Amino acid sequence: MKIKPLADRVVVQRIEEEEEKKGGIIIPDTAKERPQKGKVIAVGPGRLNDKGERMPMEVKEGDLVLFSKYAGTEVKVGDDEYLVMREDEILAILEE
């Protein structure tokens, strides 16, 4: 099943940071902050301006992105969990 976001929406998959250890003790899941890093899975066609023209998108499939803690709506497609957010909720692209 393929997910095609509408307008200026972006589908993002969270990237879990490597299991952090403090003094050898593994911190259980609930005590860790939710990661704000993710990979762009799908990108919408862009929002319409008031003339009905599509505005270009800045991110593309495969981009590694940073977003705020409360960004997006969680959706579940089959067994996968994604975040669907507006491009405007993406703060930055990370490049290596």
Min separation Cβ 62 and its own copies, Å = 14
CA–CA distance, 7 with 86 (Å, rounded to integer):
9
The structure tokens listed for 88 are: 């405007």
**Contact present, 85 and 67 (Cβ < 8 Å):** yes
User: What one-character-per-residue DSSP string does 73-86 give?
Assistant: EEEEETTEEEEEEE
Of 6 and 26, which has the nearer Cβ to its own copies? 6
Of 26 and 88, which has the nearer Cβ to its own copies? 88
Binding positions for its own copies, rule: CB under 8 A: 1-7, 9, 11, 36, 42, 45, 48-53, 55-56, 58-59, 66, 68-69, 73, 75, 77, 84, 87-88, 90-96
